[in-house]
Structure 1
Amino acid sequence: MLKLDLQFFSDNKVEYGLSNVHYAPYTEVDGVVTFDTPIPIPGAVSMTSTPSGESTPFHADNMVYYLVDTNQGYEATLSIANIPQQFAIDALGEQLDETDGVLNEVADAQKKRFALLFQFEGDKQAVRHVMYNCQASRPGVSGSTKTGSTEITPKELTLAASPIKIADKLLVKTKTTATTPPAIYDSWFDTVYQKTPQV
């Protein structure tokens, strides 16, 4: 059994700096989710997420007797330098015409869901995250004329991260902590983390 020296670890005081963004398409057969190998999305600029769901109060005895919380995941915006072609094909359902070398956005495209992996830096150690069940909306098209200086406008992806059943839990996201074993932490972007069943 692995023993950790907890004195070596400590929580971050601050977190900053988005990096190491990856996506991993997945398939689901008979309730079993299988993730592909994570693929990098270079040029991460920023990410914001807002919880989806609501709290519903139940009133009795002239007070809020019970509060029901519904976790429906997150609505997120990911800002990146440019949208990789492979991501457009994998996640947005765009189709590459290999003969003409053009990328087609088709009206009846079937988008694929994917896990989104990323990390925020910290004063002690970067915290690594995975949102298991994401779907991306079509990005807008924007640009502006070149003036005296060249300004690069990041591309924005709107994402919905929903719960999905993995290892008998309805999961939305998972992140590393100060006591995450190195074997898990170091391989975070090699494979999508899933709890190893206890034998």
Structure 2
Amino acid sequence: MPETQENKVLFGLENVHYATYTEADGKITYAKPKPLPGGVEISVEPQGDMIKFYADNIVYYQAPNNQGYEGTLTIANITEEFAIDCIGEELDSVDGVLTEKSNAKPKPFALLFEFDGDVKAVRQVLYNCTASRPTVASATKTDSTEPNSNELTFSAGPRSTDKAVKSKTSTGVTDTVYNNWYKAVYEKTPAGA
């Protein structure tokens, strides 16, 4: 039976995954999600302003303009697989060297993750993300060693097919949807299916 009690608080970040996708003939096909271990922090800021139309000396019409999100993911280390799949770095299979090129084209992906809750973790997916090159930084070791992390900035916009930006599990999520969240990118079940 689906959980009916709502979380009072959310905390933590875990189970960060990504899934590349292709679009052909108006249909999006997602690859199987791959883990992106070491998630430290994620922050997504909404993009788009409130549209206001003035008439009769008042705000006659207003509506939000949802243009998705701008986000930052702090992660222990960007995996080579993610760098190749999403950022567009190239792997020389003979020498084993990753190369970043100025004309690299980032590839779109879905970003999946979850926040723990006092009742149940809330799983989320941003459907249409594009990442910028990650920040590269390190510092010398001192008497205490602190691990480095990488900061990845990304944009998450609406999908072209149905304008979906983000989905997340709710208190009424079915066990099937919840348990399969990281096996395939969630897609709404068509009516009558």
Q: For 1:18-33, what aligned pairs fall within 5 Å after superposition?
A: 18-33=13-28
Q: Which residue of structure 1 lines up, in the alignment, with residue 41 of structure 2?
A: 46
Per-residue Cα deviation, 1:94-132 (whole angstroms, up to 9, x for no partner): 000011111000111121100000000000000000000
Paired with 1:52 and 1:147, the residues of 2 have a C-alpha distance of 41
Q: For 1:107-186, what aligned pairs fall within 5 Å after superposition?
A: 107-166=102-161, 169-186=162-179
Paired with 2:190 and 2:46, the residues of 1 have a C-alpha distance of 29
Counterpart of 2:139, as a letter, is S
Gaps of 5+ in 1: none
Aligned residues: CA RMSD:
1.2
TM-score (norm 1): 0.93
Q: Structure 1 segments of 4 or more deviating over 6 A?
A: none
Secondary structure at the aligned position of 1:16 is classed as: strand
Q: For 1:85-100, what aligned pairs fall within 5 Å after superposition?
A: 85-100=80-95
Counterpart of 1:32, as a letter, is K
Secondary structure at the aligned position of 1:87 is classed as: helix
The answer to which of 22-31 and 102-111 deviates more is: 102-111
Counterpart among 60, 64, 80 of residue 59 in structure 2: 64
Paired with 1:189 and 1:52, the residues of 2 have a C-alpha distance of 26
Paired with 2:190 and 2:150, the residues of 1 have a C-alpha distance of 39
Gaps of 5+ in 2: none
Counterpart of 2:25, as a letter, is D
Q: Which residue of structure 1 lines up, in the alignment, with residue 183 of structure 2?
A: 190
Paired with 2:172 and 2:136, the residues of 1 have a C-alpha distance of 43
